[in-house]
């Protein structure tokens, strides 16, 4: 879902189990997850929210998609907010446009977008419809607009928070990757989570290490200068 003002709209999906996926319950036991709750404080005029299930893993049954205007942040409070929603089911993509109810927020503002029945047995195994969703294709698209090292690949959605916090820390230069992983270990994170986070951040960590080089501190000769950490200053 996307919209174009600072109001706090929420994408909400009710799967067959009835376990709603929304801002207060981002990950369901049936595998669905909401990536982010946008405009909690009206941070942007270009918000986007996505709710997904792993490819082919969504449970069979009836789904209900709706939009709620949780809170007003935009100056034109009483006005309706237009939104767009894209739904992909078994390789078929549908687009919807709508608007919130003028002056209303909370449950009274709910707008039903789409209801459908999903059957994983009807999912195509290898068709042209899915060509644009292959991991390599998506990665190449991102690589065309941002540096390769800024593409953070995450296998397990539960690792998102650790990777995001690590990326922020690396970008600010407050810690290096080794230190961040040690801190994660002290917080009781598993070896698997540490491995996943290290893999996601290794490219960014290498770039940030080079970016912090002081040109006045470069050696006169072509030899590497050993740092206190595990890497070298080039």
Q: What is the 3-state secondary structure (H, E, C) of the chain?
A: CEECCCCEEEEEEECCCCCCEECCECECCCCCEECCCCCCCCCCCCCECCEECCCCCCCCEEEEEEEEEEECCCCCCCCCCEEEEEEEECCEEEEEEEECCCCCCHHHHCEEEEEEEECHHHCCCCCHHHHHHCHHHHHHHHHCCCCHHHCCCCCCHHHHHHHHHHHHHHHHCCCCHHHHHHHHHHCCCCHHHHHHHHHHHHHHHHHHHHHCCCHHHCCCCCCCEECCCCCEEC
Query: What share of the chain in percent tops pLDDT 90?
Result: 45
pTM of the model: 0.57
The residue ranges of every structural domain in the chain are: 2-125, 136-217
Label residue 60 by pLDDT band (50, 70, 90).
Answer: very high
Label residue 76 by pLDDT band (50, 70, 90).
Answer: low
Residue 214 has pLDDT above 60, yes or no: no
Q: What is the pLDDT of residues 103-118, one digit of tens each?
A: 899 999 999 999 999 9
Residue 209 has pLDDT above 80, yes or no: no
pLDDT reported for residue 146: 84
Pick one of 3.20.20, 1.10.3210, 3.40.1110, 2.60.40 as the CATH number of 2-125: 2.60.40
pLDDT reported for residue 138: 82
Q: What is the pLDDT of residues 126-141, one digit of tens each?
A: 556 666 667 788 888 8
Q: Greater confidence, 4 or 219?
A: 4
């Amino acid at each position: 879902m996307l919209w174009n003002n600072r109001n706090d709209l929420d994408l909400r999906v009710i799967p067959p189990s009835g376990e709603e996926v929304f801002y207060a319950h981002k990950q369901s036991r049936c595998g669905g997850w909401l990536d982010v709750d946008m405009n909690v404080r009206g941070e942007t005029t270009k918000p986007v929210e996505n709710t997904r299930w792993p490819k082919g893993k969504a449970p069979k049954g009836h789904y209900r998609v709706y939009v709620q205007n949780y809170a007003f942040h935009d100056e034109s409070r009483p006005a309706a907010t237009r939104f767009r929603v894209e739904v992909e089911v078994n390789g078929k993509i549908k687009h919807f446009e709508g608007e919130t109810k003028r002056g209303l927020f909370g449950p009274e503002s709910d707008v039903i977008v789409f209801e459908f029945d999903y059957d994983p047995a009807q999912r195509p195994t290898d068709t042209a419809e899915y060509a644009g969703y292959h991991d390599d294709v998506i990665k190449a698209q991102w690589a065309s607009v941002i540096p390769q090292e800024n593409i953070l690949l995450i296998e397990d959605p539960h690792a998102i928070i650790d990777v995001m916090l690590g990326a922020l820390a690396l970008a600010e230069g407050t810690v290096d990757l080794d230190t961040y992983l040690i801190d994660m270990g002290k917080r009781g994170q598993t070896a698997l989570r540490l491995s996943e986070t290290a893999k996601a951040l290794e490219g960014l960590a290498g770039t940030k290490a080079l970016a912090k080089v002081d040109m006045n501190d470069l050696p006169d000769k072509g030899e590497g200068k050993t740092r206190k950490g595990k890497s070298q200053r080039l």
